[in-house]
Amino acid sequence: MYRYSIIFLTTALSFISFGQNTSVNQNTLQLNAITTAMPFLSINPDSRSGGIGDAGTALSPNANSVYWNTAGVSFSKNKMEIGGSIVPWLRQLTNDINLYYIAGYQKFNDRNALTFAFRQFTLGEITYTNDVGTVLRPDKPSEQEAVIGYALKLSNRLSLGVNGKFAYSNLTGGMIVSGAQTKAGVAGAADISFMYQNTDLNLFEKTGELRLGATINNIGNKISYSNLSSSDFLPTNLKLGASYLSNMDQYNSMTFTMDLQKLLVPTPPKLDSKGNIIAGQSNNVGVISGILQSFSDAPGAIVYNANNQPDLVDGKAKIVKGSRLKEELSEITISGGVEYNYNKVFAVRGGYFFESANKGGRQFFTFGAGLKYNIMQIDMSYIAPVTKNSPLANTLRFSLIFTVNSKQD
């Protein structure tokens, strides 16, 4: 069998890293991670937010706001910014997977702005072989995303953003595997975002700025990688964020931020040995139905009998009381951190990202720094996982942003 499955595994790891605890008992939720197609769409390319626990939904706007919250761009004091990022990915596993990202915006007046972004995710070189090890050909699988967006200031404190995007994922190079003709995945998707901003606050005798953000990302069609396989959801994601910037004095400021995120994708049901659903709901539904279902379809923790088999009643498993709600809440990731800025020139950052062990178990500290000189802003961030042998260990992000046009009058 052609070894293209390595590519799928690598891509899946770009979105989730499995938790360490997979034991079954009635006091904990069993491992039930949600997987999607094109998980590269959810990799954060922004080094600034990458240093604050991967929390950026409500941060002050810059060129990378196209990924986090397009609505915030309409509040930018600059007319135009262009930025680029490089993210060497999963360096614990391989040395040739990279994410390249470019983004920017142009403000036409105080209310309207046009945004753009493009990302390239390269998965290194793969050598295809047949069942007896004969080399067929090498391949360099890759995925791309192109984004055009628009930001509109609805009032002095509220703004709206929309993105349209096209994504292309070629993981197999059209190989025929076990009689199935593989193909590239193609998707059209949209984002919608909102931001509230109040820059006239005074807290503890210090002036400050409050921002609240909300986005739904990657609302788009399901995709399939072969003519025989089922279709998979895009990583549709709800993000809620808040940030507060406190001006300590003329030169020093602190920003505190927090994000809550949840995949709007159906939770996989629990199946018996014959493939029948014994807990949860079918995830073979449409996109809109899947979004709505994702808020209430967690199967919960199954009750096991003395033989360590699911305790069934009329073909359905008994569920530990309260575990459905507990699992639903465990699908929410929490991230946040602090940024210290000196004279709007130098910044240091720290944060933490938490995901429940039964949903992937990504838990890590982040650190970062930034330096601004004239029209150029340089940022970098670093991931330090809590768990051992995490594929995300020692991940670095590098970003560079240029202010092309001066501040508005």
Tell whether 146 is covered by a domain: yes
pTM score, whole prediction = 0.89
Tell whether 258 is covered by a domain: yes
CB contact at 8 A, 54 and 396: no
Tell whether 311 is covered by a domain: no
What tens digit of pLDDT does each residue of 262-276 get?
999 999 999 988 889
* pLDDT of amino acid 211: 98
Tell whether 293 is covered by a domain: no
AA identity, residue 326: K
For the chain, how many structural domains are there in total?
A: 1
* pLDDT of amino acid 8: 38
Tell whether 292 is covered by a domain: no
Tell whether 31 is covered by a domain: yes
Q: What is the CATH number of the domain that holds 160?
A: 2.40.160.40
* pLDDT of amino acid 17: 37
CA 296, CA 291: separation in Å to the nearest integer?
A: 10
Which stretches of the chain score pLDDT less than 50? 1-26, 409
CA-nearest of 58, 57, 38, 54 to 354 is: 54
Domain region containing 145: 5-266+331-403
Tell whether 135 is covered by a domain: yes
Tell whether 68 is covered by a domain: yes
* 19-29 burial code (b ≥16 CB/10 A, e <16): beeeeeeeeeb
